[in-house]
Structure 1
Amino acid sequence: MNILHVTAHLGGGVGKAHAALSAAMPSSVQQTYLLLEEPRDRRYADAIAESGAEVRFARGMEDVAAQAAAADIVQFEFWNHPCLYECLASDLLPPLRSVFWSHVSGLFRPVIDPRLFAAAHRFVFTTPASLALGEGLPDNVRARLSAIGSGFGFAAGAEPTPGGAPICYLGTVDFVKMHPGFFDAIDAMRHDVHVAVWGAADPQGEVMARARAMRHPDRVVFMGQTDNPQAALSASRIFFYPLQPDHYGTAENALIEAMSLGLAPVVLASPAEQAIVSHGEDGLVAAAIEDCATLMDELLGNPARCDALGCAAAQRARDFSPENSADAFVRLWSEVLREDKRKPDFAAIIGRTPLDWLRSTQGGSITTPAIESAAKGTLTHFRAAFPDHPCWNDLVG
């Protein structure tokens, strides 16, 4: 079984997921990872290569097309990256068996055009919450949809590290994903508690400004980026992970890692988190940010319940293993191998210019946040990738 993974890069969550998956794959699966942009961080790419897969940088679309023609299955590691959209829109793509593994939920921006579900042999989400996108579609299209997790816990638990903050957050320290009421919830707690915030934070950014404006700013300790998330998480007993209600995340690797170490999670009732945490069973799910202070106070005041939820969380996290996801992919690929290759026309769905591709991720219209933001997948990103393309002349304003 010869699988070609076409991906913009192998950084962040995508690289971390595939590093774990490639190590869990049976020897009968031959994997090649074709990167569309030069890697900046080779940590995960090197780990994948050590597992026996080939990792290389694509030398143009002709190279991608040749590799795709030789593969049994082409799996597109899908998210709103301009290089990937350029690849999908290319007329050079040969007949192939296509699998999409989506690393965005599609429930909010960036959106996924549902016509891609029918165009691909299989479309795989990283959270079962995204299966709601198939509602109302024909049965033969919905049959192509599935969910295979890309977030994995630590293989073994860890003893609590003494002296750490009882509550922690680990992840994106930016309100593009973190809920802006994060610091209000900590301020509202009855307990005078310390909360460790792990992740890179802009000293001049909005997050730091909100923290400085707290009534109790001493409750929050910014720990910075960590190369050892297991040790960082093990120093706390509660994982406070409130995200924006329309955030783009799916597998929520940090949440699953924290649960695997026995931390009791406190999250908001967003689709991706609710697919992982069951309220009162293996964590607490708040209906609104205003409820989080009460829930964390309850856990601090009842250590036995906190420990019980943490134990249940660790048990739940065992469902999210690279072995389970690897097995699921082998079964899915085996099914796809029984189908014929076909010439794709993804450009008919996503368009043929960078502006078309950006609009397709925004549901057809480019909103003000997408214009003003410098985040990945926004106008700034697409324009930087194709600065001289004449399509930008069509963008009013």
Structure 2
Amino acid sequence: MTRPRICHIATHLGGGIGRALKHLTSNDDNFTHEVISLEETRTHRNIKQLRDSGISIRLLDEIKNAKHFFSTFDILQVEYWNSPRLHLSLSQLSEITARWVFWAHISGLNSPIIPRLLPEMATALVRSWDDTDAKGYYVTSAAGLKSVNVRAYEDRNVDALYVGTLSPAKLHIDFISYLENFFKLGFDRAIVAGDITTDCTLPPKTDYINLSGSLELPGFVQEIDSLYESAKYFLYILNPDHYGSGENALIEAMSAGVVPIVLDNPVEASIVKAAKAGYIIKKPEDLVILENRLLTEEAWPHLSKNAVEYTQANHSGIKTASGFNSVYNKVLCKEKHSLPFNEIFGSQPHQWFLSGRADAEKWRQDCHIGSLARRGDYAVFAETKGSLAHFSHLFPSDDVLKGWYEKSRSLRHGA
């Protein structure tokens, strides 16, 4: 019997989306999967692993007749986040009839939000954060590490670890304050692994050279398992307005027995609460309150064990594939249809940008960008994915985007 065919449309296959697709496709024996990428992927680990498991990956530019090509699939699955390249491509696919599944790789709790009409018009919307009040289906996008070595406390030589983007869109702008309070408890070694970019949350080295402990910045680490195995605590202090949903790094760390310390942000706090496996704080000084617990080794093995057991039970490639199989079977009972992408997202690049903003109407007010700048909103200042800079650079002929971007730059440089 021929298995139904799924085509995934993704901006690229780096980071969490590439890993999520790897978890899904390598554990699904009931559907066949192909991937169309809109951009070249900078890191090739995910691509290699997908291709090694038999998944075809092509660039959209290589497809000569997109309408005919996409019509041959039973389901088209859009790996959705507020990507300017993705919006451009979708605007060109409005005439295609398909069963449209959107996998939201953003939580939608903060900007970027999930556009209001998308859950109503897509054949199915899938979320990676278990929000019982939200529309759509929940399927985990994160999976624990399979071959990781779960070490005892005394066999770990890294006191605190952070893995992920260092952009202020994700990492808390005061991360160093949290780390300094952690060091004050008597810990002395931390590793922060991630690309060091121009808008990095971490200050210049001269600003943290006097920390009480040692901070190592190895940059992007391809083979991350050994870092997880060596760490005692996962200091996952994120921007309260971050857009993440599945939190792959947190799940991977917990699967290695690393005990998480997170802020009281909905996504990561809900994971730690469900696992009963770590600490939830609100400010740097809260680490001092936790001093006796953090420095008492008796508490750590219990939390570490809970973290491992929780990830094994709730976050795996098998769980991801099983969840999507359930969604796919429901979707196959429905007819193919076109989607009015101009109605859902808008027809112009600046409208695509605003479709992901909870404060879309306010962007038409001259004073709004100034108010965002004063509170350090990443959409104005951060040179990160889905930001104003990202959209403006890709669509330089959009005068509205250009005006917003120039104003944000002048505010940033105090002009």
Taking structure 1 as the reference length, what is the TM-score of the superposition? 0.88
Q: Is the 8 A contact 2:13 2:46 kept in 1?
A: yes
Q: Which residue type is aligned with residue 317 of structure 1?
A: T
Q: Which residue of 2 aligns with 1:378?
A: 387
> Per-residue displacement from partner, 1:325-378 (whole Å, max 9, x unpaired)?
101101110110001111211211210111110111123254444243321112
Distance (Å, rounded) in 1 between the aligned partners of 2:206 and 2:281: 22
- Displacement of 1:103 after TM fit? 0.7
1:238 Cα deviation from its structure 2 partner:
1.4
Aligned 8 A contact 2:277 2:307 in 1: yes
Q: In structure 1, what is the Cα distance between the partners aligned to 2:233 and 2:380?
A: 37
**Residues 265-344 of structure 1 mapped to structure 2, 5 A cutoff:** 265-278=260-273, 281-295=276-290, 297-318=291-312, 319-344=314-339
Residue in structure 1 matched with residue 89 of structure 2 by the alignment: 87
Equivalent in the alignment of 2:67? 65
The question of whether the paired residues in 2 share the 8 Å contact of 1:234 and 1:261 is answered with yes
Deviating more after overlay: 80-89 vs 270-279: 270-279
Q: Paired residues, what number? A: 384
SS in 1 for 2:58: strand
Paired letter, 1:20: H
Secondary structure, counterpart of 2:57 in structure 1: strand
Inter-partner Cα distance in structure 2 for 1:336 and 1:347: 23
The reply to whether residue 166 of structure 1 matches residue 141 of structure 2 is no
How far apart are residue 306 of structure 1 and its match? 0.8
CA-to-partner distance for each residue in 1:265-320, whole Å, 9 max, x for gaps? 1111111112311179211112334313433x334321111111001100011110
Report if the CA contact (8 A) 2:392-2:402 is conserved: no
Deviations 1:148-175 (A, max 9, x none): 1111111144143946222222222233
2:114 to 102, 112, 115: 112
Write out per-residue CA displacement over residues 105-154 of structure 1, whole angstroms, 9 at most, x where no aligned residue: 1111111112110010110111113x53x3xxxxxxx4xx0111111111
Q: Please state how far the C-alpha of 1:393 moved relative to its aligned partner.
A: 6.8
Q: Give 1:98-247 correspondences, 5 Å limit.
A: 98-129=100-131, 131-132=132-133, 134=134, 142=135, 145-160=136-151, 162=155, 164-188=157-181, 189-202=184-197, 205-209=200-204, 212-213=207-208, 216-247=211-242
Letter in 1 for 2:159: P
Give 1:139's aligned residue.
none
Kept in 2: contact 1:193–1:219 (CA 8 A): yes
Q: State the one-letter code of the partner of 2:387.
A: T
Distance in structure 2 (CA, Å) of the matches to 1:204 and 1:328:
37
Determine the C-alpha separation between the residues in 2 that align with 1:248 and 1:8: 17
Q: Could you list the runs of 5+ residues in structure 2 that have no partner in the other structure?
A: 364-368, 408-415
Which stretch shows the higher mean deviation, 246-255 or 153-162? 153-162
Change (3 A) 1:40 1:180: closer
What do you get for the CA RMSD once the two structures are aligned? 2.5
Q: Name the % identity.
A: 27
Distance 1:224 1:389, change over 3 A: closer
Deviates more, 1:114-123 or 1:163-172: 163-172
Counterpart in 1 of 2:18? 15
Distance 2:124 2:343 in 1: 18
- SS of residue paired to 2:355: helix
- Structure 1 residues 232-283: Cα deviation after superposition (integer angstroms, max 9, x where no partner): 1111211111111111111111111111011111111111112311179211
Cα displacement (A) at 1:390? 5.8
Query: What per-residue deviation string (whole Å, max 9, x for no partner) do you get for residues 195-226 of structure 1?
Result: 22222335995513387247535342333332
**Aligned counterparts of 2:93 and 2:307: Cα–Cα separation in 1:** 47
Matched-pair contact (CA < 8 Å) for 2:163–2:192: yes
Cα distance between partner residues in 1 of 2:88 and 2:105 = 17
Report the AA paired with residue 245 of structure 2: T
1:82·1:385 contact (CA, 8 Å) conserved in 2? yes
For residues 43-68 of structure 1, give each alpha carbon's deviation from its aligned partner in whole angstroms, at most 9, with x where no partner exists: 31232122122111112887433222
**Once structures 1 and 2 are overlaid, which stretch shifts more, 226-235 or 200-209?**
200-209
The equivalent residue for 2:412 is none
Q: Distance in 1 between matches of 2:219 and 2:43?
A: 19
Give the whole-Å Cα distance in 1 for the aligned partners of 2:252 and 2:220. 16
Q: Distance in 2 between matches of 1:165 and 1:387?
A: 45
Contact between 1:242 and 1:289, CA under 8 Å: does it hold in 2?
Answer: no
Secondary structure of 1:59 counterpart: helix
Q: Is the 8 A contact 2:388 2:401 kept in 1?
A: no
The Cα of 1:70 is off from its aligned counterpart by: 1.3
Q: Report which stretch shifted further, 88-97 or 263-272.
A: 88-97
Determine helix, strand or coil for the equivalent of 2:167: coil
Distance 2:43 2:95 in 1: 28
CA–CA distance in 1 between the matches of 2:174 and 2:381? 22
The residue identity in structure 2 corresponding to 1:53 is I
1:275 is paired with a residue whose SS is helix
